[in-house]
Amino acid sequence: MIENKSSIDEIRQRFDKDVERFSNVETGQTATIDAPLAMELIAQAAYRSTKKIQSVLDIGCGAGNNTIKLSSYVSIFDCDLVDLSLPMLKRAQERISEVNSGNIRIFHGDFRSVDLPEQKYDVILAAAVLHHLRDDQDWTSTFRKIYRLTAPGGSAWITDLVSHETAAVHSLMWNRYGEYLCSIGGESYRDKVFGYIDKEDSPRPVTFQLDLLRRVGFSDIELLHKNSCFAAFGAIKAN
């Protein structure tokens, strides 16, 4: 039930304590299937799909891994970083400044309530963050905001935990994810990850999110990759 989920403050406190792990791609993304591939795909898709990349928004930036990956294709751009965790933001700002000479601004808070300029961002990244959204209204209003913030001709790219439309397929994919977690950390690790997903997260099917991206106004939708309970996808805004 949504009312039993962690509060925003509880989620923030957990990530405040985990900056070092998320500053390393290998250790920070262990629980995510195909994390390095998904990160690479959204960076390349953003680069190839967006004519100019001068301004980037990283939603739930964590320690900055996804913006750093994008910087391997475009070395100079201004970026705005949003995260609940101030320690994460400071680490992201520090790490990104080492590879990108553009202007870096940090916004400490919940993306849904942070005041950001509309139609500004050539690329918006949202990696492993939107699964914290809750009901349909929350998902719809957040995707509408992403669309409003995207510059004409710009693009938005998402990697995230996803659920499935039917119970049978959801069970199949969840079991496969459980087997993956057991293979890297045993049953105790699987139970730990499943425990915080149950407490913190409200993932939606990738089909739901692709439909929602089109419904809020994006002209072209792309599914880049899906494996078990994780997907990488995005959308382009018409000029």
119: left (phi over 0), alpha (psi -120 to 50) or beta: left
> So what's the pLDDT on residue 4?
73
| pLDDT tens-digit map of 125-145 | 999 999 999 999 999 999 999
d(CA 18, CA 35): 18
What's the pLDDT band for 200 if we cut at 50, 70, 90?
Answer: confident
pLDDT of residue 26: 52
Question: Which residue is listed with tokens 């659920």?
Answer: 163
Its sign, for the CA torsion 75, 85, 108, 40, is positive
- Looking only at the bridges linking them, the beta strands covering 230-236 and 220-227 are antiparallel
Instruction: Please state whether the predicted TM-score (pTM) of the whole model is above 0.85.
Output: yes
Both tokens of 156, joined, read 């938005």
Query: Looking at domain 2-164+202-236, what is its CATH homologous superfamily?
Result: Vaccinia Virus protein VP39 (3.40.50.150)
Per the model's pLDDT, the better-predicted residue between 11 and 111 turns out to be: 111
Q: Mean pLDDT throughout 58-77?
A: 95
